Amino acid sequence: MSVALGTTRPLPVRTTPIRDPGNLLASLPRTAPYAWIRHGEGLVGWGQAARADIPPGPDRFAWARQWLAAVFDDAHSDDDDALPPGSGPVAFGTFTFDENSAGSTLVVPQTILARRNGRAWLTTIGDAPHQTFTPLLDPGRISYGDGSLTAPAWEHVVARAARRIRDGELEKVVLARDLLATAEHPIDIRLLLLRLARRYPECYTFSVAGLVGATPELLIRRTGQEIQSLVLAGTTPRGTGPADDLRRGAALLASAKDRHEHECAIASVRQTLAPLCAQLHTPDEPELLVLPNVQHLASHVSGRLADGASVLDVVAAMHPTAAVGGTPTHKAIDVIRELEGMDRAGYAGPVGWIDAHGDGEWGIALRSGIVEGRRARLFAGGGIMGDSDPASELAEAQAKFRVMQYALEG
């Protein structure tokens, strides 16, 4: 097995079963770590065997598909069919929310360390350098500044969007804002990942090309023909104690506004998955997902693909769902571009990994930030409906920011 790297010679790929390596995140080097971890399982990677900076535009997923086909051309051998998804070469990826934004990237790390269902393995591509441990760096004091909009300006924008929804221009739009964090010292992404994975084990802790976060929302997992998705929309911040949490959870389940918001998200997922699937199950009623900072309305979707679509083909069909865009999609994207006054970059875009078989897991990059040197740009937002209250939407966004603020501050 090997990977083709365009102009250079193909590189040999070796996947070896290994003893349990312990915390996967503890093996990462400081520079450019790649990660996708939930409940201690998943993949981490480092080094760079191949990288694609994907040109913006409507063809970006087709471009990525072609690039992957060329890189993985020789990577599939018959004897690896028994190996779990994520063995052999793997590309980690981030796609920007807006197809016109630059920053979509695919990287095949030189070394990948993985654990799934109690099995662990190491994949190396070419002569992967030996990994030496470097101590974690503390970022020191963190200070925050507004991104493109102050909190009152964002509330004003939410009110304008709600009015346009009441006027019948659209049904739902998801609006977000950014916060700029500056640390005393360079930010060590590994420290953020370790904190996120410990505090949010239910979420997917990820790091791809500077985009770091812990998202609860699984856009799509493909394992052979089987697919799964976790659709989230409708949120309440956590309460002051168990009784308050119960009361808030019940109110969320009973809230017409949140149920409508959730139904828009489910409808968009159903609409894009149905043509790709031989079987598709979407639950009739959402359940509650309780996280340390918020509770969400959640629906587990599962299905069986009708043909050999790769996980990236499914991602391309699904993005953006109404959990991050709105309804109808194109109108919502126009309103987002007009009102938010910022480039979402990778926030709310697909993030995850794909292997040479087309299996993989992609989340929606929520509860995340872009980390560079001493700075991090954090993002959070929420679904706006006609009866949205700007102050409650701001409080919800603030509760969502807490994920990355905790990652930075500990």
Ligand X SMILES: C=C(O[C@H]1C=CC=C(C(=O)O)[C@@H]1O)C(=O)O
Q: Return d(Cα 142, Cα 263) in angstroms, integer.
A: 38
> In the structure encoding, which two tokens stand for residue 162, read together?
């709600």
Task: State in angstroms the smallest separation of the CB of 407 from ligand X.
Answer: 14
Task: State in angstroms the smallest separation of the CB of 295 from ligand X.
Answer: 10
Amino acid at 14: R
Looking at 22-124, list the stretches that DSSP marks H as alpha helix, in order from N- to C-terminal side.
60-71
Could you confirm whether 331 is annotated as catalytic? no
Which residue from 176, 218, 345, 399 is in contact with ligand X, where contact means CB under 6 A? 176
Q: Return d(Cα 190, Cα 322) in angstroms, integer.
A: 31
Amino acid at 288: L
Task: State in angstroms the smallest separation of the CB of 189 from ligand X.
Answer: 20
Nearer to ligand X, 358 or 381 (CB): 381
Nearer to ligand X, 194 or 298 (CB): 298
Which residue from 105, 111, 205, 235 is in contact with ligand X, where contact means CB under 6 A? 235
Number of C-beta neighbours around residue 9 at 10 A: 8
324 binds ligand X (CB under 6 A): yes
Q: Return d(Cα 369, Cα 294) in angstroms, integer.
A: 18
DSSP-assigned letters across all residues of 237-249: E--SSHHHHHHHH
309 binds ligand X (CB under 6 A): no
Which residue from 47, 88, 369, 381 is in contact with ligand X, where contact means CB under 6 A? 381
Nearer to ligand X, 110 or 321 (CB): 321
**Sign, CA torsion 403/405/408/409:** negative
174 binds ligand X (CB under 6 A): yes
Which residue from 64, 232, 315, 399 is in contact with ligand X, where contact means CB under 6 A? 232
Could you confirm whether 217 is annotated as catalytic? yes
213 binds ligand X (CB under 6 A): no
Identify whether the C-beta of residue 2 lies closer than 8 Å to the C-beta of residue 71: no
383 binds ligand X (CB under 6 A): yes
CA distances from 143 to 210, 214, 290, 405, 408 (A): 19, 21, 29, 10, 10
Catalytic residue among 41, 171, 202, 217: 217
Identify whether the C-beta of residue 399 lies closer than 8 Å to the C-beta of residue 293: yes
x/- map, 286-305, ligand X, by CB under 6 A:
----------x---------
Catalytic residues: 172, 217
Which chain residues interact with ligand X by CB under 6 A? 174, 176, 217, 232-235, 296, 323-324, 366-367, 380-383, 400
